[in-house]
Amino acid sequence: MRSPRRPLVYGHRGSRAEAPENTLHSFRRAHEVGAEGVELDVRVSRDGHLLVIHDSTVDRTTNGTGEVAKLTFKQLRTLNAGEGERIPTLTEVLDVFPGLLQIEIKAPEAVPALFALDEMSSLPERAMLTSFDQTVLAHAAEAMPHVQRGLITHHCGDELVEAVARLKLSWVCLELRPNLTSNLVERLHDVGIKVDLWPATDAERLARCVDLGADAITTDHPGLIDSWLTSNALISGRDPVVERLL
C-alpha cells in the first residue's frame, strides 16, 4: 500500500467556511490556518481593473446589484463583500497572501488585464493561471508562456491527457467524481502533470483524494485538513505522520 502523503492545501476562495469568500480576510485566515495556497477568481471592471470575485454579478456576495463588467472600479469598491470587507484587487491579494495562488480566469477579458499586470510587475512564480475554458488557457499561454497554467475540469476521460499535452499545462484541477481512478492520476503524473482534486469537503472525501494520489486538494475548510488526515490515519491504522508535498 502506498504510504500516506499530505497533499498541498489550497483554500477555496480563501477560508470560505470561516470568512466571506474572496476577501482579504478570507485569504489571511487561510494563511493563519496553514494553507499552502489559495484559489481565487478574477474578473475585470468596466474600466479595466482586475478584481477578485467569483460571480459575473455582485448580487450574491455583496450588498449591491449588477454585472461586474458593467460597473466601474469605484462603484465596485463601495460595496460590502461581507463583514465590512471590500472586493479586493489581485495586487492586494498578492501582497497579503505569501503562498501559492491559483488564479481562476472567470472572464476572457481578464487575460489581457493579467498580461498588463505581468508586464508592469511580473506575476510571481508561486502564481498559476487556471480556467475551465481551454481557449482562455491557450490565450494565456500565448501572452504569458512563463506563467504556469492549470485546467479545471469535471471530466476525467482519455481526452484529458491529450488536452494537457496540447495546452502544455503544469496542473489539472479535477473534480472528485465516482469514476475518477488512480490510473488516470498516474497517467497524468507520467507526463509531468500535477493533480489538484476538489472539493475536499470532509474527512472521507479527503481520504479518497489521498488514496487517488492527489498532489493538492482544494477545500473550503483548510484549517481542518490536518485533523481530518489524522483521524483517517487512526481509523485505518496508518501512521498519522504525513509527508508535505513541496
Cis peptide leading into 112, omega within 30 of 0? no
Query: In sequence order, what are the residues at sequence separation of 6 or more whose Cβ sits closer than 8 angstroms to the Cβ of residue 167?
Result: 134, 137, 138, 141, 149, 151
Which of the residues are catalytic?
12, 54
What backbone phi and psi angles, to 5 degrees, belong to 104? -80, 125
> How many residues comprise the chain?
246
Annotate 143-207 with DSSP letters as a single string.
H-TTSEEEEEES--STHHHHHHHHHT-SEEEEE--TT--HHHHHHHHHTT-EEEEE---SHHHHH
Q: How far apart are CA 222 and CA 200, in angstroms?
A: 9
